[in-house]
Amino acid sequence: MKTKRFLMQNFLLRHRFAVTFFAGICIGTGYANIAYRYQAALPEIYNQHYLSAYADITMNYYALWKYIIRYRFRDLLLIGMMGLTAFRKYLIAFYIAYLGICAGMLVSTSVMYYGLAGIGLYLASVVPQYILYGTALYFLYQMFYVHHLTGKNVLMIAAIAVILVGAGTYTEAYCNPLILKKLYGYLY
């Protein structure tokens, strides 16, 4: 009995990044389903009006990219500042759970509007940029949990995170709207 408990604790400790994120997804999904059941406010991000805008609008990609850079690098700075505090483990775990809650709500909302095709719609709206953002967040998360890093290693990880977030902002501004526009044409 002790061995099973030890193995479970060891698994949870080794994979706490993923466990925290998926726990957040479950909370967000539960909230979206409860809100839907009781006709509370749900995000309108995946309704037909929102997606039809992609088919009709000519976008200023450069202005969108500047906006996304400001927003994403603000989050990166926030994570960096949280990592400098004594409560970094808890604050970063809370931030990862928050991201999971948001993802769970968006996936559930998308499925409510479009059925199983909503999962594909959600994936199309977050790929490829969230792969880059997630990788950067994982590197920063590991940096704040490993205690034997030298200044050179910290700078290297921080530089890699900045490059990944920068590449993610570019794909979010230039690639993702095109993907959603093509997907809207496919859905309608």
The 10s digit of each residue's pLDDT in 17-35 is 889 999 999 999 999 888 8
Q: Judge whether 119 and 151 are in contact, CB under 8 Å.
A: no
| Per-residue pLDDT, 173 | 94
Residue 107 is which amino acid?
A: V
In the predicted model, what is the mean pLDDT of residues 163-176?
Answer: 95
Q: What is the pTM of this model?
A: 0.85
Domain count of the fold of the chain: 1
Token pair listed for 76: 């990166």
Task: Write the pLDDT tens digit of every residue in 81-94.
Answer: 998 888 988 898 89
Give the range among 32-46, 105-119, 120-134 with minimum mean pLDDT. Answer: 32-46
More confident residue, 72 or 12: 72
Sign of CA dihedral 84, 89, 94, 98: positive
Token pair listed for 65: 């990219």
More confident residue, 168 or 88: 168
Owning domain of residue 49:
2-187
